[in-house]
């Protein structure tokens, strides 16, 4: 059946922002473009640009919940990341402002919180301890009594009183329920009262009751004055009652923006009839998917949301008889071009919109699809938010008649209008006071951000102490991590003591001691391998906490090192005490102990650095094992440093095993004492052994201790170097941002 080529466009009324809009988050022409590799018809790889977000303009009212919805792959999480500053600078085009003040990454970190889809919490902490540490980090120099009072009130408000002293838990340890864990995650990020709260699928993985409970708590947070934006997939009817503002996306384009109550009006103007027993929101998403699977694509619906131009009706759809009119778009869409460019696979490579007359909509923002191969974005800096009429319907004012269902601008009741008078649409046993959440004052007349206070709530040393206290608690409650290493070193110490008990003063005895030294060095290196998961386990917690300036990366680095100092000292002391007397090693004992201790420090720092670079345990252990083999090969045991080929001699210098190995040998043999006899009957002194191994010990006559202690200083330098590298990695690369 041939379609009519006539085109109908409803009247568009210049409405601007709703008059009741009293603040919140505003965004204009958000566009996020990525480069994608695809195969052409000949099977050759080619690169094409794809818009994951395409010129989305709108707002999220203050004091209300704005829900971002849409089919799978609509770009909901990408959109949320764009608003939250989680897309790398330069990749996202557009403008985002809060209460009229343009947002910067620094401002976002200070005024917002982002709750990830996965709950990243320490399983060994209780609910109360988790929230108390969050208060310590975010509230700064507030008295301990005030922090406790605030945490107790938050626990009550989040409905966590019964789980107050329950461990968070994980897959292997029983803890709080999924809904409680999600509420704890929310509590951690709202303890300081952020102006902006972003939540990525807060109901994911929860049952209906738990999901409703979570959104219920978020609803009260919004009513306290925060701007809440969340992504949600298939919310229940009870959850829909708690939503104030909707943003519906499809393939990175805006399909609808407005009150949930007016979705049926939006569908009516499209020529769609919603059955009484069906949810208008779900039906609209179904309609979007129908267009997405058709030849028209979602671009027709995006144009309708933008201009009010009714999209062509699809064949065999349930439409309202009073509004069914065959009004397809012009043939070919954009002057002979299709609405979308499809290859043989049928997949849309570019998200495109139709171009129509100047009277249809404002062209102050130039389309990136003009006659140019290069993408461009030219915002209109004067009155850019006045263009919201292209995307948002007007509020129906008192005494104003409801506009025609065919109008592009129905009388929407925005959530900001109903905030003062509308009670929570559910029963609740508690209330939320606005003063419970400290929202920073960021108004449109603000000329600087200095009023926000310091970047971090705490100074460096209190911050480090808080992190150390948390580390000590985690270690105390997971003693197997420390005890396993201590048990291994204790067992291996007894094994070595019995195997190499009192080596004879012969060449075989010399060989036995050398074997003992190299095995000890390797044992201490391998004992540090369990530090691989140290940062990998905490990576996402670290990213979540530092994304909004909870603490400094430098404080985290120092706290991690200082926390383990006493535990490493105990391990080295136990091993040294067992083997020292059994093998009859030469004094001083303190140097032997210091070498073992500093060896643990340097290898632990190296392994922690590796854990910050690799993405998972498998690659982490593989990298550590590979470096262990390399360091062992070039430490000087198989070939002394002078016999190693010149092009590999640098490996001897960077090996963390070289210096403890040489230090232990020098402590034992830097003497004129006899340790055996040559075949010709001459004595073998300690100096002879060092010279045979080509170890620079400072000279036989000077008996210099300087060279021996140089090994310790170098290992300490390696410890500092790897910790600095670890800091640089987590400071500049461990960011939760898209590129």
DSSP 85-98: T-B-TTTEEEEEEE
Could you please report the per-residue DSSP string of 257-320? EE-GGGHHHHHHHTTB---TTS-HHHHHHHHHHHHHTSSS-THHHHHHHHH--PPPPPTT--B-
Residue 17 has pLDDT above 80, yes or no: no
Residue 361 has pLDDT above 50, yes or no: no
- Contacts of 118 by beta carbon, 8 Å cutoff, 6+ apart: 540
What three-state secondary structure class fits 56? strand
Split at pLDDT 50, 70, 90, the class of 461 is very high
Residues 291 and 300 sit within 8 Å (Cβ to Cβ): yes
Tell me the mean pLDDT in the region 365-377: 33
Residues 331 and 338 sit within 8 Å (Cβ to Cβ): no
Within 13 A of 34's CA, how many CA atoms are on the CB side? Answer: 13
Question: Chain centroid to CA 410: how far?
Answer: 40
b/e burial code for range 463-480 (CB count within 10 A of at least 16 → b): bbebbbebbebbeeeeee
Tell me the mean pLDDT in the region 20-35: 84
Given the structure tokens 């310091």, which residue do they identify? 454
Residue 336 has pLDDT above 50, yes or no: no
Segment holding 229, helix H or strand E:
strand 227-231
Residues 572 and 523 sit within 8 Å (Cβ to Cβ): no
In this structure, the dihedral spanned by the alpha carbons of residues 203, 205, 210 and 211, taken in order and rounded to 10 degrees, is 20
Residue 218 has pLDDT above 70, yes or no: yes
Within 13 A of 440's CA, how many CA atoms are on the CB side? Answer: 25
**Out of 96-110, 213-227, 277-291, which region has the weakest mean confidence (pLDDT)?**
96-110
Given the structure tokens 């109360």, which residue do they identify? 128
pLDDT value for 600: 94
What three-state secondary structure class fits 126? strand
Tell me the mean pLDDT in the region 107-128: 88
Q: How far is CA 200 from CA 194, 209, 233, 322, in A?
A: 16, 19, 10, 40
Within 13 A of 117's CA, how many CA atoms are on the CB side? Answer: 12
pLDDT value for 85: 86
Residue 337 has pLDDT above 60, yes or no: no
pLDDT value for 173: 81
Residues 478 and 530 sit within 8 Å (Cβ to Cβ): no
Residue 627 has pLDDT above 60, yes or no: yes
Within 13 A of 254's CA, how many CA atoms are on the CB side? Answer: 25
Tell me the mean pLDDT in the region 673-693: 85
Read off the DSSP letter of residue 443. Answer: -
Tell me the mean pLDDT in the region 294-300: 88
Residue 553 has pLDDT above 60, yes or no: yes
pLDDT value for 715: 95
Cα–Cα distance measured from residue 71 to residue 283, given in angstroms and rounded to the nearest whole number: 12
Nearest to 162 by CA among 148, 149, 177, 173: 177
Split at pLDDT 50, 70, 90, the class of 246 is very high
Asked if the bond preceding 588 is cis, omega within 30° of 0, the reply is yes
Structure tokens at 559: 């706290």
Residues 123 and 138 sit within 8 Å (Cβ to Cβ): no
Split at pLDDT 50, 70, 90, the class of 415 is very low
Question: Chain centroid to CA 503: how far?
Answer: 55
Read off the DSSP letter of residue 4. Answer: P
Segment holding 683, helix H or strand E:
strand 683-685
**Burial class of 429 by CB neighbour count within 10 A (0 to 12, 13 to 18, 19+):** exposed
Nearest to 24 by CA among 232, 247, 182, 213: 247
Tell me the mean pLDDT in the region 551-561: 94
Tell me the mean pLDDT in the region 207-211: 87
Residues 575 and 490 sit within 8 Å (Cβ to Cβ): yes
b/e burial code for range 692-714 (CB count within 10 A of at least 16 → b): ebebebbebeeeeeebbebbbeb
Residue 528 has pLDDT above 70, yes or no: yes
Count CB neighbours of 404 within 10 A. 12
pLDDT value for 452: 59
- Contacts of 246 by beta carbon, 8 Å cutoff, 6+ apart: 66, 67, 69, 256, 257, 258, 259, 260, 263, 281
pLDDT value for 707: 84
For domain 24-37+47-307, the CATH superfamily is P-loop containing nucleotide triphosphate hydrolases (3.40.50.300)
The domain limits of the chain are: 24-37+47-307, 460-737
Within 13 A of 36's CA, how many CA atoms are on the CB side? Answer: 14
Split at pLDDT 50, 70, 90, the class of 456 is confident
What percent of the chain stands above pLDDT 70? Answer: 77
In this structure, the dihedral spanned by the alpha carbons of residues 165, 169, 175 and 181, taken in order and rounded to 10 degrees, is 80
Higher confidence at residue 399 or residue 678? 678
Cα–Cα distance measured from residue 310 to residue 8, given in angstroms and rounded to the nearest whole number: 7
Higher confidence at residue 438 or residue 194? 194
Tell me the mean pLDDT in the region 35-56: 83
pLDDT value for 150: 92
Residue 127 has pLDDT above 90, yes or no: yes
Residues 25 and 60 sit within 8 Å (Cβ to Cβ): yes
Could you please report the per-residue DSSP string of 679-714? TTS-EEEHHHHHHHTT---S-TTT--SHHHHHHHHH
Cα–Cα distance measured from residue 631 to residue 636, given in angstroms and rounded to the nearest whole number: 9
Tell me the mean pLDDT in the region 315-324: 48
Higher confidence at residue 252 or residue 680? 252
Residues 135 and 190 sit within 8 Å (Cβ to Cβ): no
Structure tokens at 713: 């200083």
Backbone angles phi, psi at 279, to 5 degrees: -75, 125
- Contacts of 581 by beta carbon, 8 Å cutoff, 6+ apart: none
What average pLDDT is seen over the chain? Answer: 77
Q: What is the maximum span of the chain, computed from C-alpha positions, in angstroms?
A: 118
pLDDT tens-place string over residues 584-597: 888 889 999 999 99
pLDDT value for 314: 78
Structure tokens at 141: 């120099």
Given the structure tokens 């999600």, which residue do they identify? 182
Residue 329 has pLDDT above 70, yes or no: no
Residues 409 and 15 sit within 8 Å (Cβ to Cβ): yes
Read off the DSSP letter of residue 313. Answer: P
Cα–Cα distance measured from residue 357 to residue 218, given in angstroms and rounded to the nearest whole number: 43
pLDDT value for 693: 87
Nearest to 133 by CA among 425, 524, 620, 551: 551
Residue 359 has pLDDT above 70, yes or no: no
What three-state secondary structure class fits 420? coil
Structure tokens at 104: 């910067």
Residue 4 has pLDDT above 50, yes or no: no
- CA triple 198-392-70, angle to 5 deg: 50
pLDDT value for 703: 53
Helices (H), 49-199: 76-83, 105-111, 127-139, 144-157, 178-190
pLDDT value for 35: 85
pLDDT tens-place string over residues 694-734: 887 776 555 567 888 999 999 999 999 999 999 999 998 87
**Out of 367-376, 507-516, 518-527, 695-704, which region has the weakest mean confidence (pLDDT)?**
367-376
Residue 488 has pLDDT above 80, yes or no: yes
Tell me the mean pLDDT in the region 381-391: 35
Residue 358 has pLDDT above 80, yes or no: no
pLDDT value for 530: 76
Tell me the mean pLDDT in the region 412-425: 34
pLDDT value for 487: 92
């Amino acid at each position: 059946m041939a379609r009519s080529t006539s085109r109908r466009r409803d009247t568009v009324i210049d409405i601007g922002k709703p008059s009741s809009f009293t603040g919140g988050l505003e965004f204009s022409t958000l566009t996020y473009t990525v480069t994608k590799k695809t195969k052409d018809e000949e099977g050759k790889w080619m690169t094409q640009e794809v818009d994951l977000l395409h010129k989305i303009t709108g707002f999220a009212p203050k004091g209300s919940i704005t829900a971002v919805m849409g089919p799978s792959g609509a770009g909901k999480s990408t959109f949320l990341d764009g608003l939250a500053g989680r897309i790398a600078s330069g990749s996202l085009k557009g403008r985002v402002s809060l209460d009229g003040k343009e947002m910067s990454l620094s401002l976002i970190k200070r005024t917002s919180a982002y709750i990830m889809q996965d709950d990243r919490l320490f399983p060994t902490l209780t609910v109360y301890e988790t929230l108390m540490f969050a208060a310590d980090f975010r509230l700064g120099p507030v008295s301990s009594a005030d922090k406790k009072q605030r945490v107790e009130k938050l626990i009550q408000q989040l409905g966590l009183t019964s789980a107050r002293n329950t461990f968070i838990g994980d897959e292997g340890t029983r803890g709080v329920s999924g809904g409680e864990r999600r509420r704890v995650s929310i509590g951690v990020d709202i303890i300081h009262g952020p102006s902006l709260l972003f939540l990525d699928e807060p109901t994911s993985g929860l049952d209906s009751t738990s999901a409703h409970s979570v959104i219920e708590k978020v609803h009260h947070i919004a009513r306290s004055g925060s701007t809440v934006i969340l992504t949600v997939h298939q919310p229940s009817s009870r959850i829909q009652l708690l939503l104030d503002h909707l943003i519906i996306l499809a393939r990175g384009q805006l399909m609808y923006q407005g009150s949930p109550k007016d979705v049926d009006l939006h569908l009516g103007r499209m020529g769609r009839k919603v059955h009484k027993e069906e949810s208008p929101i779900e039906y609209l998403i179904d309609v979007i998917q129908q267009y997405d699977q058709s030849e028209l694509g979602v671009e027709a619906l995006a144009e309708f949301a933008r201009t009010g131009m009714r999209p062509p009706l699809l064949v065999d759809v349930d439409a309202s008889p009073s509004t069914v009119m065959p009004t397809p778009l012009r043939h070919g869409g954009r002057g002979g071009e299709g609405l979308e460019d499809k290859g043989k696979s049928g997949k849309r490579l570019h998200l495109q919109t139709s171009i129509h007359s100047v009277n249809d909509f404002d062209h102050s923002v130039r389309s990136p699809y003009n006659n140019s191969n290069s993408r461009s974005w030219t915002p209109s800096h004067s009155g850019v938010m006045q263009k919201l009429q292209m995307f948002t319907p007007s509020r129906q004012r008192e005494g104003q008649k409801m506009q025609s269902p065919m109008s592009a601008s129905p009388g929407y009741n925005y959530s900001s209008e109903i905030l003062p008078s509308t009670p929570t649409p559910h029963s609740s046993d508690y209330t939320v006071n606005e003063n419970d959440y400290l929202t920073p004052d960021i108004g449109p007349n603000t000329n600087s951000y200095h009023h926000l206070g310091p970047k971090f709530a705490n100074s460096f040393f209190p911050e480090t102490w808080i992190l150390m206290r948390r580390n000590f608690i985690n270690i105390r409650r997971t003693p197997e991590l420390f005890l396993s290493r201590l048990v291994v070193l204790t067992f291996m110490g007894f094994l070595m003591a019995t195997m190499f008990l009192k080596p004879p003063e012969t060449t075989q005895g010399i060989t036995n001691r050398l074997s003992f030294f190299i095995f000890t060095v390797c044992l201490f290196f391998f004992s540090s391998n369990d530090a691989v998961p140290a940062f990998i386990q905490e990576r996402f917690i670290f990213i979540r906490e530092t994304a909004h300036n909870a603490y400094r990366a430098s404080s985290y680095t120092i706290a991690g090192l200082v926390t383990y100092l006493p535990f490493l000292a105990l391990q080295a002391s136990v091993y040294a005490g067992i083997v020292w007397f059994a093998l009859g090693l030469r004094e001083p004992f303190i140097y032997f102990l210091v070498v073992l201790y500093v060896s643990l420090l340097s290898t632990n720092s190296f392994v922690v650095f590796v854990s910050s670079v690799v993405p998972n345990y498998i690659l982490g252990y593989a990298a550590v094992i590979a470096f262990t083999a390399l360091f062992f090969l070039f430490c000087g045991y198989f070939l002394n440093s002078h016999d190693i080929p010149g092009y590999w001699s640098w490996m001897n210098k960077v090996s963390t095993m070289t210096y403890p190995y040489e230090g232990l040998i020098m402590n034992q043999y830097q003497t004129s004492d006899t340790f055996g006899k040559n075949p010709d009957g001459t004595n073998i002194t300690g100096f002879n052994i060092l010279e045979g191994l080509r170890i620079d010990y400072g000279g036989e006559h000077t008996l210099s201790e300087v060279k021996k202690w140089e090994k310790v200083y170098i290992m300490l330098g390696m410890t500092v170097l790897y910790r600095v590298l670890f800091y640089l990695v987590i400071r500049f690369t461990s960011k939760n941002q898209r590129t």
